[in-house]
Structure 1
C-alpha cells in the first residue's frame, strides 16, 4: 500500500477536531467548548446552534470542505479521535450516513479495502469492522465488544416510512443476545411498543444502536438537513454528530462550522485545478470545435510533461448535451456524438455516453482496472445529459462543454466538480495543466460567468468572496466584459452620444434598457455599463436612421473598451512575491526549519520523575465521581438535569464493560495508544510502567479502576510527555539558534523561499470594514485578511500610503495557520506569523529587500520576546535581504527607520 501523506490543511482540520473534543471535557458543555475552540482557532468565537430534538449540549459540528478536498478520508481519520478524545473508549459504533446507494457502495468498498487510504485511516482506531445495513441487522455482541464497528448506510434506510427499511425497527432473533442482563436504566432508554403492562421492547437494530450510543458521521450533509432526517437520527441517541459538506446550511437549521477549508487552500495544496477559464460562443459547433482544440493542446502538454517524468495524463472533455424533447430539435447526445465523429473525425471508441439509458461509464469501469484513467482506456470525450453517476471520479477531466446556457443547477454543479480535481494531487510544470476549462454555448459572457460562479458557490463549496478570481475569461475581449471579476477594482465611465432621433427604448430588452438613460432636452443617450455585441444590435434596432445606428455602434465599442479602467493587483500583474525562509544545517545539509523535531537534543524519559502529579491525581478523582454518579446540574427553570458527557460516559461504561487486565497488559495498551515518534518504544514503555506502578501503590487505585479510567490516564501521560519534550526542545532551540556558533548551524538561504502564489490566498475571514474604510491600492491580492485590532488596521493603512508613494513596492496581510498561503518562522513551541510582509522597491534591477512587520498591542508586548528574537535572527542572517520590526503604540517611525535602513529606536 502506498503511504498516504495528508495535506497541511487536512492535518489542521483534524487538529481542530481533536481540540474541540478535548475542550468538550475541559469545559462545562460541548456547546461552550465549540465557541471557545473557534475563538482560539480563528480569533472569533462562533455561536453554537443545538439541534431540535437532541440534548442541547450534544457535540454536533460541521467540517466545511470544498469539492476535491478529501472529505471521506477526513471522516475516516476522525474515528480514532472520536474514540480517544471524545468517547474515551476503546471501541465504538459509528453510524456513517451517505446520500445515495451508489455512494454507499463506493464508501463500503473503500473502507473495507486494506490497500485503500480510507481503510488505513480507519485502522488508526484499532480493530475495525465495516458493515452494510443488511450485515448490521445480524451483528453480534462480540463484534461490537471487540472492534470499532462502522455501519455505512443511506439516510433513507432508517426512515420508518420506508416499508422495506422497517426491519431496522422490528424484532430479530439474531439480535436477542444484545439485550441480556440489561439494567433498568438501559431498558427504560429503549424504543418500545405498547403501553403499561403491554409495553414490549423489540430486539431491533434500532435498539441495539440506542444501547451503544453511536457517533454519527453524515457525509454530504447538505442533502440530509430536514426535520425528518433529524428525527430519524434522534431515535438512536447518538453520542455526537459530525457533518461533512462543501455547502453547510447557515440559515434555516444552521450547522456549527468548526473548521472551514477554502478553495484557495486546496489550490495551494495542489488538490484542484484553478482558475476555471471560461469561453462563450453562440455557435454550438464552433464552441465544440474550440473545446476540441483546447483538449489537443492540453494533450500535447501532458505528453511533454510525461517525457520529463510526470505521470500519465489523458485530458478528458465532459460534454453536457440537451435533453431530448418531442417535436423539438435539440443538441442531444446523439447529435453531439454525430458531430464529433462526422465533422471532427473522432473515433467512436474515444467517446462514451453516460445518461439514464446509456451506461457507458459503468462499462468502462468494468473493462479497465483504473476505469477511465487507465492508460489502456481510449476515451477522451464523455457526453452526458444531466448529471453523471454519483461518486464517479476522474481527475483527468479538464474541460466542461455545455451545449445549453447554465440553467440546470444540479447538473452544472456536479460536472464542475468533476473537472476541478487535480490529477495525482500535484502541480505540473506547465501552468496550463493546473487549470480547468469551460466552454458554454452563450451570447452573454458576463451572465454566463456569473452563473458559473453561482454554481461554484452553491455546489462546489467555494466562498462567495473568493469565487470571482477563480472564474476567469479565456479571451481578452471577453475579460473586459467580466466586471464581477474585478469588483471594487474597476472604473466604468459613462459614454454619452447625441442621436438625431429618439430611440424606441420600449422595444429594447429590459436588461439592456437598465444600462441606458435618455435625455430628451439634449437628445443624448448615455450608456452606464458596457454593452456586448448582441446588446448593441438590440439597441441599434430601436432607431431607424443609419447615422443613429452608427453612433450607437461607436458608443457601444467605447463602453466595452476605453470606458473601462481596470485596477490590477500586483498578483494579477504577474509580480512574484518570494520570501527567504529560515533553514538549519542537519548533518552538513541545509533543510527548511519547519519542525522543532529536526533539532538535535537529548530526549530520554528515564531522566524524569514518573510519579503522578497532584494535578493528575485530582483529575482522576474528579472523573471517578462523575463516572460513578453522573454529573448533575440545575437548569434555568430549577429542574435537575444531567450533563451530556457524564451521562454518555456512564452509558458507555455499561455497554462496554472493562476487561480485567493485569498491569503489564494495561501498560502495553497505554504505550500503543501514546503515539510519540520522538521516543523509542523502550524509553516510552519504561516511563509508562513506572508511572502506572506509582499510581497503583496509592490508596483507592485498583486495577479495575485504572482500567476504567485508562483513556483519561492516556491523556494525562500524553500531556506530561508533551510538556517534558517541550522543555527539552526549548533548550535545544535556544542553543542551536542563539548559541555562540549559531551562524554555523542556521541560515537564511535562497534554497528555501516561501512564494505567495497568485491564487493561493485564503483568509478565514476577509476584512469587512469594521475598523474603518481605506482604499488599499498596493495589497498583493484583491482580498485582505481580517485585522485583529484597529491599530493593526491603521498599520496596514500606513503601509499602503508608503506603497502609493513608492517607498514600498507592495505588501500582504500575512495569514495565520494557512500553511499553503502564509509565511512563518518556526519557534520551539509553535510558529510565528508576522502580520505584514512588504516587498521593498527593486535595487539595480533586482527585487528589493523583504520587510516583515509585526504589530503588538501594549498589553502583549512583554509576552512577544520570542517573536522578536526569531524575527531579528531571520533578518540578521539574511545578509541584508530581509528586515524585521515589531511595532507598538502606533510608532510608525520605527517602520520608517527600516525603510530608510536606519537603526530602530529602542522602546
Structure 2
C-alpha cells in the first residue's frame, strides 16, 4: 500500500510559488537580474564569476522545513526553468554530518524528502554521494533526476576528494563519446586537447541546479569560484540567516543574498510548525533553576499523558540542560557535575540522563521518539550534534548566566519544533520553555530574543515571542520571595515529628513551619519531591502535598504581559444552510465537480503558444543597460541541455500523457484525467494545424505547451467560475445564506499569521495583537488603520492578513477574499473594511468582493457591516456605524 504524500503547509506552497514565478520570469526576460527586480522590486546582486546566473535565497527560519522545500524545488526548477525531465542537482550541505543525514532521507523511499522527488520523477531518481558520482554512467543521468549530495569542501582541489572531481577518470568515458560540437568547447580539456573525462566535466555538460543548505556558510569568493568551475544553471539557497546588504562586503569576498521570499515566525506558528511563545523563568541560583525546570518538565509530562488519552498522540517531553565549560581556574557546573547534581540532589535515575558533548556522544543512534526510550535529560554545552532534531525537546535549562546569544541560539532552535507539526489541545504543549540562571530577567530575555534572531526570526517578532513569566519578575525584584509557596498541613499533624524527615527527603526544598503548621516550598517541586513528600507525610496530607506541588510549579506559567481582561473577538462567517446543516460558503456550493473540460473550445490555446524559433535564429547575445554585449544565459542553457539530452521518439499518445502529468494541481484540481487528456489532444491538433510542427516538433516544444495549456485552462476556468458565482448569489439560486456565529472565526494571537511585521513608529494600542502583520508604515491603507485606531466607536481591530490559515475570508469566484481590516465595535457589532487600492487589478474583482461582502453583512441581522473604501473616503466608516 502506498503512503500518502506529505502535505505542504500554506507558507511552503507560497514559497515554492515565489520560486516558480521568478524562474518563469527569468525565462520570459532571458535575464535573472531584471526578473528578480520584476518579482521583488529590489536590486539583484550577481554572483561573482557567474554572469547571468539566477541566484536566489529562500529565507526559512529554524523549524520551517528547509529540506522538504529544497526537495520540492527540484520539480519547480525542472519544469519552469530548466525544462527537462532529467535535471542534475548538486545539493551542497555545511558538514559531513548533514551530508549523511540528507543522503539518508533522500535515499529512503518512504521519507517525505524522497517522496517530494518521486511525486514529479517517479522511480527515475538517482541519489548519490561524490564517491558514487565518480562511477555513475551516462544512462544514470539520461534516465531521470540525479541528485548529488556533498559538501562544497569536497569540490575544492586542496581536498583529496576534490582532486578526484577534476582528474581524468576512465569510469566516466561514456559521457564524452559522440559529443555535439556545441558542447566540446564548454568543457575543460586535457593535454591532448580533448575533453577531460572528469566528474567536473560531467557536471559542466549537465548544467546542474545547485541547492545550498545553510547558505550563509558558503558565501566566499572561493566558494563561488568553485561553483563557477562546474557551470551551474541556477543556485537556490536555503537558510534562516542570509547575508544582508548591510553585512555584505564584496572587497572581503562577502556577498549579499538575493532574498526572493521570506517566511516569518508567525507563519510557522500559524501553520503549527513551531512552539511559540518561548516562556522564560529566571532564578539567581543554578540549583533553583534546575529544580524549576525539572518540575515544569514533570508538569508537561502529565499534560502530555492527558493529551494522549484524549487524542492518541504520543509525546514525551525532554529537557536540554546547558552546562558550563570545564575550567582550570574556577569550579564550574560542567556536564559531569550537572549529571551528578541531577542524580544526587534531584534523585534522577542515571538511565534518564544522557551527555552530548564533544567527548561524550550518548544520544548518537538513540531513537528519542521511541515510547520505550528512557532519556529525559540531555546535558550539553554549546551545541548538540549537527542535524540533531527531536521535537520532543520542550525545555531549555541553562545553569550559567549567558551573555551571548550565540551561546543559546542553537540549543534554542532545538526546542522550537512542534511535535508532529500538530497543534495540541493543551496550550502549554504548544509553547517552549527556557529556564535561565540569571540575576536580570531583562538580560536573559534579550539574550533569548537575540538567539531567535540568529535562528532566522525578525527582531520585531522575537521581542513579542519571548515572554517573561510573571513569577520571574516578582521573584528577582523581591529577592526571591515570590518563589516561596506555602500550604497548611491537616489538623492534628505532628509538624515537629515530620520536620526533619520532610526537609531531608526533599533536600531542603520543602521546609516545615512548626509554629504555623505549614509546609513551604522554596521553588518548584518535582515528581521526585512529590513522591518523597507523600512517603514522609501521613496519608491525610496527600491533598496538601498535591496543592503545594501544583502551586510551586506555576502550573499556569503565565507571561507577565498577559492582560486578564483580554478582548474576545469572534467574527460570524457566511454559511449555507441545507439538510446537512450549516456549512461555510465555498466553491463547492456553486461549482459542479468534476468539470468537463473537454467541452471547452481548444482554439484559445493559440493565444498563449508560440513555436520555438529555429536554432540559427535564436538570439544568444543581449545588451545590458550600460551598452555592453552579454550572453543570453537562458537561451544558451536551453540549447546546451537540448544537445546533452537527446529526445526519444514520441507518439501523440505519449506526448498527451506527458503533458497531462506535467499540469500542476492548480490546473487540474477539478478535472478528471480523462477530461484533461481529451482537451490536450484537441489543443495539440489546433496547434499542429496552425504551425505544422509534427509530433517531433511538438515534443521539442513540450514545456512551452505546458505553459500554454495552463493558461488556456485558467482562462476557461475563470469564465466558468465567474458565471457560476454570480448565479449563486442571486435570490433565484436557491441557496439559503446565513451569517452565523455557528461558523465563526475567533481571532487568536497564538495563531495570527503574517509574512512581515509592521515596523512603523505609530503606537496602535487598539490592535488586538502585539504585532501587526503585513502593513506598510505609510500610504492609504496605513491611514485607514490610523482612522480605525482613533475612532471612538472601535474597541479593537485586526490587520487581517491575506492567505493565512486563521485569517477571516469570504469566497469569491475563483479564490478566497481576505479583507484588509476587521474591527470590533463597542456595541458588539463587527465592521469589515476593504481598502480598494491599486492591487485590485480589475473591476470584476472588486465587483465580486463587494457582492459577497454585502451579502455577508445583509445576512447577519444587523450584527455585521461591510465597506469597500477608496480615495481616502474614511468618513464612510462614521456613516456606516451611525446609520
Q: Does 1:641 align with 2:630?
A: yes
CA contact (8 A) 1:288 1:401 kept: yes
CA contact (8 A) 2:63 2:273 kept: yes
Candidates 341, 344, 356, aligned match of 1:342: 344
* Residues 348 and 586 of structure 1, relative CA distance in 2, 3 Å threshold: farther
1:786 to partner: Cα distance: 2.1
> 3-state SS of the aligned residue for 1:372?
coil
1:774 to partner: Cα distance: 4.2
Following the alignment from structure 1 to structure 2, what is the Cα–Cα distance between the partners of residues 724 and 569? 53
Candidates 456, 463, 468, aligned match of 1:468: 463
CA contact (8 A) 2:74 2:117 kept: yes
Counting only pairs closer than 5 Å after superposition, residues 382-781 of structure 1 correspond to structure 2 as: 382-407=378-403, 409-458=405-454, 460-476=455-471, 478=473, 574-584=566-576, 588-593=580-585, 599-600=591-592, 603-611=595-603, 613-617=605-609, 619-620=610-611, 623-625=612-614, 629-635=618-624, 638-675=627-664, 676-744=668-736, 746-769=737-760, 774-781=762-769
1:783 corresponds in structure 2 to 771
* Residues 742 and 235 of structure 1, relative CA distance in 2, 3 Å threshold: farther
* Residues 238 and 596 of structure 1, relative CA distance in 2, 3 Å threshold: farther
Q: Quick check: 752-761 or 586-595, which moved more?
A: 586-595
1:748 to partner: Cα distance: 2.6
> 3-state SS of the aligned residue for 1:287?
helix
* Residues 626 and 766 of structure 1, relative CA distance in 2, 3 Å threshold: farther
1:636 to partner: Cα distance: 5.0
1:800 corresponds in structure 2 to 789
2:484 corresponds in structure 1 to none
> 3-state SS of the aligned residue for 2:603?
coil
Please give the TM-score of this superposition, normalised by the length of structure 2. 0.85
Q: Quick check: 68-77 or 124-133, which moved more?
A: 124-133
1:670 to partner: Cα distance: 1.3
Candidates 129, 134, 138, aligned match of 1:137: 134
* Residues 592 and 231 of structure 1, relative CA distance in 2, 3 Å threshold: farther
Candidates 46, 50, 65, aligned match of 1:54: 50
Q: Quick check: 307-316 or 859-868, which moved more?
A: 859-868
Candidates 228, 234, 257, aligned match of 1:255: 257
1:541 corresponds in structure 2 to none
* Residues 430 and 637 of structure 1, relative CA distance in 2, 3 Å threshold: closer
1:308 corresponds in structure 2 to 310
1:85 to partner: Cα distance: 0.9
Candidates 71, 74, 84, aligned match of 2:79: 84
Following the alignment from structure 1 to structure 2, what is the Cα–Cα distance between the partners of residues 277 and 569? 11
* Residues 135 and 28 of structure 1, relative CA distance in 2, 3 Å threshold: closer
Q: Does 1:152 align with 2:149?
A: yes
Following the alignment from structure 1 to structure 2, what is the Cα–Cα distance between the partners of residues 834 and 627? 52
1:603 to partner: Cα distance: 2.3
Following the alignment from structure 1 to structure 2, what is the Cα–Cα distance between the partners of residues 899 and 329? 69
CA contact (8 A) 1:65 1:244 kept: yes
Following the alignment from structure 1 to structure 2, what is the Cα–Cα distance between the partners of residues 387 and 113? 27
* Residues 748 and 354 of structure 1, relative CA distance in 2, 3 Å threshold: same
CA contact (8 A) 1:795 1:890 kept: yes
Following the alignment from structure 1 to structure 2, what is the Cα–Cα distance between the partners of residues 230 and 146? 29
Following the alignment from structure 1 to structure 2, what is the Cα–Cα distance between the partners of residues 60 and 413? 28
1:489 corresponds in structure 2 to none
Q: Does 1:246 align with 2:228?
A: no
* Residues 786 and 477 of structure 1, relative CA distance in 2, 3 Å threshold: same
1:330 corresponds in structure 2 to 332
1:97 corresponds in structure 2 to 92
1:795 to partner: Cα distance: 2.1
Following the alignment from structure 2 to structure 1, what is the Cα–Cα distance between the partners of residues 404 and 763? 39
Following the alignment from structure 1 to structure 2, what is the Cα–Cα distance between the partners of residues 236 and 800? 56
> 3-state SS of the aligned residue for 1:322?
coil
> 3-state SS of the aligned residue for 1:809?
strand
Please give the TM-score of this superposition, normalised by the length of structure 1. 0.82
1:35 to partner: Cα distance: 2.0
1:766 to partner: Cα distance: 4.0
1:267 corresponds in structure 2 to 269
Per-residue CA deviation, residues 867-889 of structure 1 (Å, 9 max, x unaligned), is: 21121111112232321012233
* Residues 653 and 628 of structure 1, relative CA distance in 2, 3 Å threshold: farther
Candidates 845, 857, 861, aligned match of 1:879: 861
Following the alignment from structure 1 to structure 2, what is the Cα–Cα distance between the partners of residues 327 and 792? 60
1:839 corresponds in structure 2 to 824
1:46 to partner: Cα distance: 2.1
Q: Does 1:824 align with 2:809?
A: yes
Counting only pairs closer than 5 Å after superposition, residues 178-193 of structure 1 correspond to structure 2 as: 178-193=175-190
Per-residue CA deviation, residues 662-713 of structure 1 (Å, 9 max, x unaligned), is: 2221112112222413112211111111222333344540222111111111
1:660 to partner: Cα distance: 1.7
CA contact (8 A) 1:83 1:125 kept: no
Following the alignment from structure 1 to structure 2, what is the Cα–Cα distance between the partners of residues 569 and 344? 32
CA contact (8 A) 1:220 1:246 kept: yes
1:751 to partner: Cα distance: 3.4
1:646 to partner: Cα distance: 0.8
1:363 to partner: Cα distance: 4.2
Following the alignment from structure 2 to structure 1, what is the Cα–Cα distance between the partners of residues 273 and 849? 32
2:228 corresponds in structure 1 to 234
Per-residue CA deviation, residues 99-149 of structure 1 (Å, 9 max, x unaligned), is: 111111111111111111111111122121111111111111111111110
* Residues 173 and 463 of structure 1, relative CA distance in 2, 3 Å threshold: same
Q: Let me know the Cα RMSD of the aligned residues.
A: 2.5
Per-residue CA deviation, residues 590-648 of structure 1 (Å, 9 max, x unaligned), is: 4434556973367212222223644344x22xx32468634422345655433111111
Q: Does 1:853 align with 2:853?
A: no
Following the alignment from structure 2 to structure 1, what is the Cα–Cα distance between the partners of residues 420 and 575? 29
* Residues 167 and 598 of structure 1, relative CA distance in 2, 3 Å threshold: farther
1:415 to partner: Cα distance: 0.7
* Residues 121 and 220 of structure 1, relative CA distance in 2, 3 Å threshold: same
* Residues 571 and 153 of structure 1, relative CA distance in 2, 3 Å threshold: farther
1:377 to partner: Cα distance: 0.4
Unaligned segments of structure 1, at least 5 residues: 39-44, 365-370, 483-566, 843-847, 903-907
Per-residue CA deviation, residues 300-329 of structure 1 (Å, 9 max, x unaligned), is: 111111111241111100001112223531
2:850 corresponds in structure 1 to 868
2:874 corresponds in structure 1 to 892
1:249 to partner: Cα distance: 0.8
> 3-state SS of the aligned residue for 2:860?
coil
Following the alignment from structure 1 to structure 2, what is the Cα–Cα distance between the partners of residues 143 and 647? 24
1:820 to partner: Cα distance: 3.2
Per-residue CA deviation, residues 216-258 of structure 1 (Å, 9 max, x unaligned), is: 1111111111211111111111111111011111131111111
* Residues 215 and 437 of structure 1, relative CA distance in 2, 3 Å threshold: same
Following the alignment from structure 2 to structure 1, what is the Cα–Cα distance between the partners of residues 86 and 579? 43
Following the alignment from structure 1 to structure 2, what is the Cα–Cα distance between the partners of residues 811 and 32? 39
CA contact (8 A) 2:20 2:80 kept: yes
